[in-house]
Amino acid sequence: MPDAFDVQDCIQRVRSGDTVAANALIGHLHSLVRRLVRNHLPRRESEEDLMQECFVKLFQKLESYRERDGIPFEHWVSRLTVRTCLDALRAEKARPEWRWADFREGETEWLDYLLNRQAEVPIHHGTDAKVIVTKLLAMLSPLDRLVITLLDLEERSTQEIAQITGWTRPMVKMRAMRARHKLRALARQSMKSEFKDA
Amino acid sequence: MKDFDQRWQTLAREARRCPAETSVDIPLGFGTRVLALAQQSSGEAWEDVLSFFGIRATVAVTCIFIFSSGLAFSEWFESRIEPPMLERSLTSHLSWP
């Protein structure tokens, strides 16, 4: 059985300038950071560039990290990564406006399902669902997108989101509710463009 | 809205089921690049100061500043109010021997 990775020991060694330990820490956190970056990636940013930015910030701020009882190091890393992604999303000047013609057949079925009470669940492959979710979320503001991604796609609790964002739990719930309202309005707007285009 | 919420949850569930692209390898030279960049720039000082003191502290200082400014202004304003003319003339008549 392989030895468990000792994060705190590794952090100490990184602080004392051990590059082997730094590479080991990157290896340990790589999949976590990649998953978070993928979920909160701006449209025009490369995944690898943003991951690099996250790790650079991590090493720069490692001195300020203090171990707390019961709170794993990975929480601190998640918070830092999400904030870096949020900054990148904010830096994105324009958000897309998808029109009906921009969606493929499977995606329009999902859009129809969202807004039409009589529509049945589409039987298409889940890839279409993922694409339409990504497209709809890209139209939201960075903070709205963040809360919906954390809550509905990453299935985090409101407590966890409060820890990551620094908001209170009622604020998380309120923002999620407002974000879903906006999402519905944006989906309707995209659907209306079908009639304008015709 | 409730109907939309339920349908959105169904869509989100379907999107979660879709497997993520499985490139889990660390790019070649990634660690070296990260460490070099981290050593090159040692973070933004103002950001560190702000995160150290926190937004709450900034708000508290602003509130104290506004309160003390208000207090100083009211003291200055009161000192400018002169006693009414009638009171002054009465005082001068009464004090006449």
Q: If you write DSSP's letter for every residue of B46-82 in order, what string do you get?
A: HHHHHHHHHHHHHHHHHHHHHHHHHHHHHHHHHHTPP
Task: Give the residue from chain A lying closest to B4, CA to CA.
Answer: A114
Place of tokens 């609790």: A157
Listed residue (A27, A45, A128) closest to A86, CA to CA:
A45
Q: By the 8 A CB rule, do A149 and A39 touch? A: yes
- Rounded CA-CA distance A81/A157 in Å is 18
ipTM: 0.76
Helices B2-17 and A169-197, axial angle in degrees (round to 10): 90
> Does residue B24 form part of some domain?
no
- Quick check: A31 and B24 CB within 8 A? yes
Of B8, B11, B38, the CB nearest to A56: B38
Give the range among A29-33, A150-154, B4-8, B79-83 with minimum mean pLDDT.
Answer: B79-83
- Specify the pLDDT at position A1: 44
Share above pLDDT 90 across residues of chain A, in percent, rounded to a whole number: 30
- Burial of residue A89 (number of CB atoms within 10 Å: 0-12, 13-18, 19+): buried
CA distances for B3 relative to A30, A44, A113, A158, angstroms: 39, 33, 11, 22
CA of A114 vs chain B CAs: smallest distance (Å):
6
- A145, with CB counted inside 10 A (0-12, 13-18, 19+), is buried
Residue range(s) defining the domain that contains residue B62: 46-80
Min distance B68 CA to chain A CA atoms (Å): 30
Give the nearest partner residue to A23 out of B16, B31, B37, using CB atoms. B31
Quick check: is B75 in a domain? yes
Q: What percent of chain B has pLDDT over 70?
A: 61
Beta bridge partners of B86: none
Within a domain: residue B54? yes
What token pair was written down for A19? 């590059």
Kindly state whether residue B21 falls inside one of the protein's structural domains. Answer: no
Mean pLDDT within A61-77:
84
Q: Which residue of A has its CA nearest to B35?
A: A56
pLDDT value of residue A170: 93
**Residue A174 predicted with pLDDT over 80:** yes
Q: Which of B1, B21, B53 lies closest to A114, judged by CA? A: B1
Cβ-defined contact of B11 to A59 (cutoff 8 Å): no
Task: Judge whether A86 and A143 are in contact, CB under 8 Å.
Answer: yes
In chain B, which residues have pLDDT < 70? 1-2, 20-24, 41-53, 81-97
C-alpha to C-alpha distances, A120 to A117, A126, A134, B4, nearest whole angstrom: 8, 15, 21, 13
DSSP labels, A116-149 = -TTPPPP-S-HHHHHHHHHHHHHTS-HHHHHHHI
A107 pLDDT above the threshold of 60:
yes
Which among A99, A109, A98, A113 is positioned nearest to B4, based on CA atoms? A113
The span from the CA of B82 to the CA of A3, in Å, is 84
The partner residue sitting opposite A129, judged by closest CB among B3, B18, B51, is B18
Range with the lowest mean pLDDT among A26-40, A82-96, A154-168, B62-76?
Answer: A82-96
Chain A residues with CB inside 8 Å of B28's CB? Answer: none
| Residue B74, in any domain of the structure | yes
| Cross-chain residue pair B35–A19, CB shorter than 8 Å | yes
Q: What is the pLDDT of residue A58?
A: 93
For residue B56, is it within any domain?
yes
What is the reported pTM?
Answer: 0.68
Q: What pLDDT is recorded for position B96?
A: 58
Instruction: Output the pLDDT for position A89.
Output: 87
CB atoms within 10 A of CB A111: 23
Q: Is B9 domain-assigned? A: no
Helix or strand or coil: residue B81?
coil
Inter-chain residue contact B7 with A113, CB threshold 8 Å: yes
The pLDDT score that the predictor gives to residue B77 is 78
Distance CA A15, CA A21 (A): 9
Domains located in chain A, CATH noted: 1-94 (1.10.1740.10), 96-198 (1.10.10.10)
The tally of domains found in chain B comes to 1
Q: Which two tokens stand for residue B64?
A: 């104290």
Q: Percent of chain A having pLDDT more than 70?
A: 93
d(CA A22, CA A18): 6
Q: Do the Cβ atoms of A124 and A106 come closer than 8 Å? A: yes
| pLDDT averaged over every residue in chain B | 77
B19 within a domain of the structure (yes/no): no
Nearest to B18 among A19, A52, A126 (CB): A126
